[in-house]
Structure 1
Amino acid sequence: MGWLLALIKQPSVISEIIAGVIVGPSVLGNIEFWSTHIFPLSSWNYFTLVGNIGLILFMFNMGLQLERKELQNQWKSSLPISISTIVIPYATGAAFGFYLYDINNQNGFTPPDRVSFILFTASSMSFTAFPVLASILSSTKLISTQVGTLTLSCAAMNDIMGWCSLAIAGAFATGSEIVGLWKILIAIGYVIFMFTIVRWLVLHAYSFLVKRDDAMNHTFLVGIFLLLLGSSFFCDILGIHSFFGAFIVGVLCPKSGQFNTTLYPKLELVTVELLLPLFFAANGMRTNLGSLNDKFHVAITALISVIAALTKFLPGCFVTKIVTRRPWKFSASIGILMNTRGLVELIALNIGVQLKILSPRLFTMFIIMALVNTFMTCPLLWLVYLRKYKSTTLYNNETNNNEEIVTDERVPLITSVPSIGMQS
């Protein structure tokens, strides 16, 4: 299945979710022998456990690859685009959340805290899948062009703001509003502590080891992984998902020397090829297409997908046109790419299920939205932007007319591209 979807340049995450849907209650789960002896309900917990371990390692790896300097270099162009592509979807998602709240609480589902639900739906509408986006740009030879660097910069800012909002929603979901506010304050203090004292200690220890020509010292690596586990555990007991702590540790780690180039590929092999697909499959197994058993819920699913797509594409396209003054094809390509969901959306939805914010029915609706929006990214990008311009021409910074692509710089936002997104 992954091979077939790769022929049309689709992210591998789609095939992994579809595989989970097939083995879940939507298809094979309806067969009694399958659901009793092959994939009983109790086995789902093991999928989730192993998948969450993969998720923690993956978010740590993504933090390792995030280049703060490149965010600073791109901020003048990317900041207004990023703000527009998170504020408009966020506001629309919050308003739509008031309506979805009653739909979420049908069929005996225990109503979650209203504030946390609205914050969660708003956050879910505003994400752009950074790793999947990076892989799409790499496969189309756009990652080193102005389209690639600008889109990745916007996506990184989007995800950082989205994760912060999701953390706030999680804090409210695991306690009263007063408790939630205290958790937010503690989380802010924790982030400040990590990026000041802990980061200073880590960087100075690494500098000391580099001077001794021992950058990959085993004791230092063990210390980093203990810090990773401790940070993840602290965020988990705080009521914020453990991935947030892992991501923080990844961001504050050294970006120069052997640390990234040596550690990243080793972690990626285990995480991307073995552990993380189980996370996607577990999400697919939770998806029950049978819960959309009437025209009303199918229509709501379609409405969620359309709103999510338009609130990303329109601001991304028009604000890019205003800020960069580039041709419409360039601006439209930014809007299309900012609508990539995939991995990050699934992580957010999985958190919503774990915190008992999302019902199985609404979870299914949002999963379909993420799949549809991610699936249409590559075909639309080809129709709007790539059909007229060969990828080799784009990559070599050439053009056949005066209308399009001029790349001023070739500075990638990330030091390497995660292989999670695409299969070739």
Structure 2
Amino acid sequence: MKENLVSLLILDLALIIALAKAAGRLARALGQPPVIGEIVAGLLLGPTLFGGALSGTLVPVEVRPYLGALADVGLVLFMFAVGLEFDFERLRGSGRMAGAAVAGAALVPFALGLGLGWYLLRTYEPPHRTAFLLFIGVAVSVTAFPVLARILSDRGMNGTWLGSVALSTAAVCDLAAWSMLAGIQALAGASGHQWRVLLVVPYAAVLFLLVRPLLGRYLAGEGAAGSQPAGTFTLVLVGALVSAGVTQWIGLHFVMGAFLFGLVVPRREKTSAVREELLQRTQHMTVLLLPVYFVVAGFKVDLSDIGADGLVQLAAIFLVAVTGKFAGTWFAARSSGMSPRGSAVLACLMNTRGLTELIALGIGMEAGLLDQRLYSLFVVMAVATTAMTGPVLRLLTGRGDQELELDFIVPPPRRSVESPAPARRTVLARSEPPRTRW
């Protein structure tokens, strides 16, 4: 790399981090998660404004491949942290309510998304129609687990019954979405290499049956020693990078491998302290690298010439995404005994998409299932649905000075006819924000 390119890369990296930080603070001041501001800042640096003159001046074309490499590393770290933070115990405590919500929040929008895909086929000819239809179904049914955790924390709903149901539902939706994306990418993959995808099954078996026990013993020893040296983080980080590289070679996106390795890290009590330290260190690194991904993603978004037909398609995408998530979740929650108001709050939370949607869209674009125009429309939908969550949530719940009160009817235990169970009010007290920043 020439010296002037090194200088430009360093200056652009500093500019991106500074803009992301400023945009994140502005978004928080407006009652939005910081990630909204960071994504919008990335979009503003793209070709939408001034025909790309601004982005071409601030971030020259010759620097972008290096920024793309940094963005990929940040994405690996982010997905590893998402897998590392995934709590399987939460799934056991939310019961049938979360199970019903998952069915409504995932299956209903997915089915409507298939119809949306047929509509989009009028003006778009993807190389693989079946993979395209399935991808559109996944794209409108995604829920961003990390962003949702941030919103619940800001609203004082973290650790409450409804918060647990929402996080459990989002976690299962995320698992289902990544599994579907893996299959879709394999379906749309280049001929001659699709056989490699079959290796993901033995690879996952090796991770969970061999790597997980060995890693558990090592981390338990580190936890017993009372310290978490840098060597532990280096070992786990190398494992995440290797796993990402393996899945990329197999034919799946590298985010699958990073996420999978995060899931492999043991969740036992003896390793909890080490796991917390690993998560904090990983998130510190993503603070520097993840904003680069937003800028790289923004380079692919061009809304300057979408035209009237594009606006109609955007309206259709937005309608299907919002209606499918809201209606599916609301009816599922109501059928399980939640109050109408509580069901509406849960449905609103499930419309959060954020960075998870951007990653999914990036996978679709790399697989050739989306062109720049359609990618841009879905990015707008992702930002809009995430940004609307906070305001709609405030309308549904209100905000008190000391606590947040919601009239949620929790399904009561079975009682005799002589002693009917009264409906009870659940008061959701505010709690301290969790460690996640996404």
Q: TM-score range, shorter-chain basis?
A: 0.7 to 0.9
| Aligned counterparts, 1:11-410, within 5 A | 11-31=33-53, 34=54, 36-105=56-125, 111-176=126-191, 180=194, 182-211=195-224, 213=225, 216-255=228-267, 256-271=271-286, 273-293=287-307, 295-323=308-336, 325-385=337-397, 387=398, 389-390=399-400, 392-394=402-404, 405-406=425-426
CA deviations on 1:140-173 (whole Å, 9 max, x unpaired) are 1011212211100000000000000001111122
1:338 Cα offset (Å): 0.3
Q: Name the stretch that deviates more: 198-207 or 339-348.
A: 198-207
Partner of residue 4, structure 1: 26
The CA RMSD over aligned residues, in Å, is 2.8
Cα distance change on mapping 1:409 and 1:352 into 2, 3 Å: same
Contact 1:124/1:345, CA 8 A, preserved across alignment? yes
User: Within 1, Cα distance between the matches of 2:171 and 2:408?
Assistant: 27
Between 1 and 2, higher relative CO (CA 8 Å, sep ≥ 6) is seen in 1
Aligned length: 401
User: Within 1, Cα distance between the matches of 2:431 and 2:101?
Assistant: 19
1:396 Cα offset (Å): 12
Q: Percent identity?
A: 30
Q: Which runs of 5+ in 2 are unaligned?
A: 1-22, 410-421
1:358 Cα offset (Å): 0.9
Q: Name the stretch that deviates more: 202-211 or 76-85.
A: 202-211
Contact 1:128/1:338, CA 8 A, preserved across alignment? yes
Letter of the aligned partner of 1:60 in structure 2? F
Per the normalisation by structure 2, the TM-score is 0.84
Letter of the aligned partner of 1:126 in structure 2? S
User: Within 2, Cα distance between the matches of 1:391 and 1:187?
Assistant: 51
User: Within 2, Cα distance between the matches of 1:258 and 1:302?
Assistant: 47
User: Within 1, Cα distance between the matches of 2:203 and 2:50?
Assistant: 45
User: Within 2, Cα distance between the matches of 1:275 and 1:289?
Assistant: 25
User: Within 2, Cα distance between the matches of 1:100 and 1:49?
Assistant: 32
Q: Name the stretch that deviates more: 250-259 or 334-343.
A: 250-259
Q: Secondary structure at the match of 1:394?
A: strand
User: Within 2, Cα distance between the matches of 1:312 and 1:165?
Assistant: 17
Cα distance change on mapping 1:280 and 1:404 into 2, 3 Å: farther
1:188 Cα offset (Å): 2.7
Letter of the aligned partner of 2:393 in structure 1? L
User: Within 2, Cα distance between the matches of 1:287 and 1:70?
Assistant: 36
Letter of the aligned partner of 2:141 in structure 1? S
Cα distance change on mapping 1:42 and 1:120 into 2, 3 Å: farther
1:309 Cα offset (Å): 0.4
User: Within 2, Cα distance between the matches of 1:188 and 1:51?
Assistant: 28
Contact 2:144/2:170, CA 8 A, preserved across alignment? yes
Q: Secondary structure at the match of 1:70?
A: helix
Contact 1:171/1:238, CA 8 A, preserved across alignment? no
User: Within 2, Cα distance between the matches of 1:257 and 1:336?
Assistant: 32
1:179 Cα offset (Å): 5.5
User: Within 2, Cα distance between the matches of 1:396 and 1:21?
Assistant: 36
Q: Name the stretch that deviates more: 327-336 or 63-72.
A: 63-72
User: Within 1, Cα distance between the matches of 2:116 and 2:243?
Assistant: 34
Partner of residue 20, structure 2: none
CA deviations on 1:184-228 (whole Å, 9 max, x unpaired) are 4322332232122221221123234444x1662554443322221
Q: Name the stretch that deviates more: 349-358 or 217-226.
A: 217-226
Partner of residue 418, structure 1: 436
Q: Secondary structure at the match of 1:326?
A: coil
Cα distance change on mapping 1:327 and 1:189 into 2, 3 Å: same
Letter of the aligned partner of 1:346 in structure 2? L
1:96 Cα offset (Å): 1.9
Letter of the aligned partner of 1:305 in structure 2? F
Per the normalisation by structure 1, the TM-score is 0.87
User: Within 2, Cα distance between the matches of 1:205 and 1:185?
Assistant: 30
Cα distance change on mapping 1:215 and 1:192 into 2, 3 Å: farther
Q: Secondary structure at the match of 1:257?
A: helix
